[in-house]
Amino acid sequence: MTASLYDPRHCKLGEGPLWHPERQQFFWFDITGQRLLSRDGDTPLEWHFAENVSAAAWTGRDTLLIASETRLFNFNLTTGASDTVAALEADNPGTRSNDGRADPQGGFWIGTMGKSGEADAGAIYRYYRGELRQLYAPITVSNSICFAPDGSRAYYADTAAGQIMTQPLDAQGWPKGTPDIFIDMRVDRLKPDGSVTDAAGNLWNAQWGASRVAQYSPTGALLQTIAFPARHTSCPAFGGTDLTTLFCTTAQQGIAPEILAAEPGNGQTFAAETDTTGTPEPQVIL
């Protein structure tokens, strides 16, 4: 499988890819660029915000639940109107949102982190039917949030710890029991970033600094890797009409200007056709 360029715009910190199943449209974020990006055919689309924005889930055909550095808000793609759903560490100017994804029960998990990656500055939360509850803290760099297709377990990572964790969930999607290590990447010195699962329950993980997305079986066995022409792959998502296209955001963060000039793929967004089918992203219940 080979990756091709999906969108040439450069993101300082590309993240939060989302295929909207009702609109059949792909969205993603440039966190520190404070913008949401998409396409209408060959036409690039952008929405700009006054603060960092990082992840989203769909709440309706024309609305997204967006996580920013201070709140979760319902955003209308047509009118640009936004309504605050919940405050998110709004009293802490040193943190911002990072990785997030909807769960099969209709909730939304979102992680935070220090704006300069400060140790133990962040946490992971879940929003569900009006309640925002902290699940894990402290977290340095929240990432890899995704779910088994049947909603029986969640996955998440603190990139700084080098491990992807797995957490059993109850019928309403809340953690039950204690998390276990799903994949320990410390031996290979890999840094787990964003993840997504496919319909078979395999986990696809973007690995910061490794120029790749790796596919792991439900038991944690490495199945394959896909190379991308960017140093910092940040988050994958399945999309396309048959959900077989693997999109991947990338970042320019921490890369020297001379390298960026020589390697234009850094910060761009890519797509690879796979032999795997993803699952439609769940609708968040507000």
Which tens digit of pLDDT belongs to each residue from 161-217? 999 999 999 999 999 999 999 999 999 999 999 999 999 999 999 999 999 999 999
Residue 93 lies in domain: 3-273
Amino acid sitting at position 33: G
Collapsed DSSP state (helix, strand, coil) of residue 177 = coil
Any domain includes 281:
no
Residue 193 annotated to the active site: yes
Overall pTM surpassing 0.95 (yes/no): yes
CA distance 108 to 283: 9
CATH code for position 35: 2.120.10.30
pLDDT band of residue 279 (cuts 50, 70, 90) is very high
Buried b (16+ CB within 10 A) or exposed e, 92-125: eeebbbbbbbbbbbbbbbbbbbbbeeeeebbbbb
**Is the residue at 136 inside a domain?**
yes
Integer Cα distance of 3 and 281 in angstroms: 22
Identify the CA nearest to 216 among candidates 196, 230, 245.
196
Among residues 193, 198, 242, 275, the one annotated as catalytic is 193
Residue 283 included in any domain: no
pLDDT bucket at 1, cuts 50 / 70 / 90: confident
Query: Which amino acid would we find at residue 170?
Result: D
Q: Which two tokens stand for residue 68?
A: 């920013």
Determine, yes or no, domain membership for 285.
no
Would you state the pLDDT for residue 158? 98
- Bridge partners (DSSP) of residue 56 are 66
Does 280 map to a domain?
A: no
